[in-house]
Amino acid sequence: MLGTGTEALERCPTTMSTHTFTAMGVYFHVIKMKQSFILWIGHEEPKIESLSTAISLPPRPPAGSKLMGNADWTTTFAKKLSVKTKHQVFIFADELEPDEVPLSEKSGISEVVY
């Protein structure tokens, strides 16, 4: 029985953690959950200009979709991260300059995966 008081909330273990870092002027904010994570990438305070998601479904290729925005690279990056982490991935991103995308992918992978 779940209960209706605060005692029910105290029995739920916390499965979320956050991590923030920067690389070459690009900011990253990671919210890790039990079997998924959210990665925000941008220049300022987090805002949603693009949103993509992907999930790894071995032995098939990962499934991914751009849900909103114009940053096509986020879907490809979400697929890469879902394969490496074996978790569902959500990527929120500001518009980045083309030369910032490879650095963002490399930094994101190194911080989230390793």
Give pLDDT tens digits for 40-97. 988 877 777 889 999 988 888 999 999 998 888 889 989 988 998 888 999 988 888 8
Does residue 7 register a pLDDT over 70? Answer: no
- Distance (Å, rounded) from C-alpha 74 to C-alpha 58? 21
Comparing 93 with 114, which gets the higher pLDDT? 93
Q: What span, in angstroms and rounded, lies between the C-alpha atoms of 91 and 68?
A: 11
Q: Does pLDDT of 4 surpass 90?
A: no
Model pLDDT for residues 14-48, shown as the tens digit of each residue:
677 888 888 888 888 888 888 888 899 888 777 77
